[in-house]
Amino acid sequence: MTHAPRSAWFAWCAVCVIWGTTYLGIRVSLETMPPALMGGIRWTIAGLLVAAVLRARGAPLPGPRAWPGLALLSVLMIGLGNGLVVWAEQYVPSGLTAVILATSPFWMVAVEGTLHEGEALTGGTLGGLLLGFGGILLLVWPDLHAGGLGAVRFGTGVVALQVACVGWAAGSAWSKRHATGENVLGATALQMLFGGLLMLALGSMLGEWRALSFSKRTTAALVYLIGVGSIGGFMAYIYALRHLPVSTVSLYAYINPVIAVILGALVLGEPFGLRIVLASSLVLAGLAMVRVTSARRTRATAERTAPQADSRIG
């Protein structure tokens, strides 16, 4: 893999910050909105807005030949990857949700390792992932003891979050290999639109329209999720995924909870003590280990392939 452009790193940082705030937005929106309809409204409007802007600028959207692949991505990354997270937040505390979703790098690396020419799992990468996961555990340890949920609902929520991780990992791996570099914005718009329509259909089947209502608070949360969480965050994620190793991009799952805790301290006056500082340090240390390992592997691959390229040319 060639050196990633600086814009890819900016996109990755945006994902870390933006998606670190969406846990709060989801939690607030669920106060008056059922999960499937909330997600359906969010992603459908986001997809329509992006598509409308592209068409107004004369940019094309992917044709029917690309729709099956985009529909598959919408099922994996939006229907499963995001929809199950929204559903699970009804029963699993936000802190514990962050811990469970922090397993997504393991799933992403595992999926990569099973694919042809995927990124092999090295000792340094595994050590960094484990160190970062330890930081997440330390970060939310009090929440682990304050669940207070029934065994059935809690267990179902945990299973749903793991399925969400698998769906997101599979969709990310497929997108990295099969999506072309052209018309990225158009493909993202249709992916969001297809995912939103899928969730709207599911919400209708479940009879959620009767429970749907809006308040100023939940409407503001939904608008934020549409504009910043969906359009900004998702497009930044797709862009970063095209230019950075999957193991590196997946580390957003470690950074998001850190961002959420910092926002809680600044906005809601939540405690920010030694435990938070230590947990954040562990997360960043794990990130550094994976980043260094990935850089070394990239350099080693380049050194091995360079002489072969020269011999073919000569």
Banded pLDDT at 310 (limits 50, 70, 90):
very low
Residue 283's identity, in one-letter code, is: V
Token pair recorded at residue 103: 């397993």
Banded pLDDT at 212 (limits 50, 70, 90):
very high
pLDDT surpasses 80 at 109: no
Summarize the confidence of residues 55-83 as an average pLDDT: 89
Rounded CA separation 105/198 (Å): 26
In this predicted model, which residue has the larger pLDDT, 44 or 176?
Answer: 44
Average pLDDT over the chain, rounded to an integer? 79
| pLDDT value of residue 283 | 74
Banded pLDDT at 107 (limits 50, 70, 90):
confident
Sequence-separated (6 or more) residues with CB below 8 Å from residue 73: 171, 174, 175, 179, 191
| pLDDT value of residue 134 | 79
Q: Between vectors from CA 58 to CA 57 and to CA 64, what angle results, nearest 5°? A: 125
pLDDT surpasses 70 at 127: yes
**Is the backbone of residue 148 left (phi > 0), alpha (psi -120 to 50) or beta?**
left
Q: What is the pLDDT of residues 173-199, one digit of tens each?
A: 777 666 655 577 888 899 999 999 999
Largest CA distance in the chain: 72
Q: What is the pLDDT of residues 146-174, one digit of tens each?
A: 555 555 677 788 788 889 988 888 887 77
Q: Which residues of 16-44 are buried (b: 16+ CB within 10 A; e: fewer)?
A: bbbbbbbbbbbbbbbebbbbbbbbbbbbb
Summarize the confidence of residues 58-72 as an average pLDDT: 88
| Whether 159 contacts 236, CB under 8 Å | no
| pLDDT value of residue 114 | 66
In this predicted model, which residue has the larger pLDDT, 38 or 180?
Answer: 38
Rounded CA separation 251/101 (Å): 11
CA 252 to chain centre: 7
For the four alpha carbons of 28, 30, 35 and 39, in that order, the dihedral sign comes to negative
| pLDDT value of residue 180 | 53
Q: How far is CA 217 from CA 167, 214, 231, in A?
A: 30, 8, 20
Token pair recorded at residue 164: 């969400």
| Whether 84 contacts 160, CB under 8 Å | yes
Among 61-65, 89-93, 139-143, 245-249, the least confident range = 139-143
Burial class (CB in 10 A: 0-12, 13-18, 19+), 227: middle
Q: Between vectors from CA 115 to CA 109 and to CA 117, what angle results, nearest 5°? A: 95
Sequence-separated (6 or more) residues with CB below 8 Å from residue 209: 37, 203
| pLDDT value of residue 309 | 39
Burial class (CB in 10 A: 0-12, 13-18, 19+), 298: middle
pLDDT surpasses 50 at 272: yes
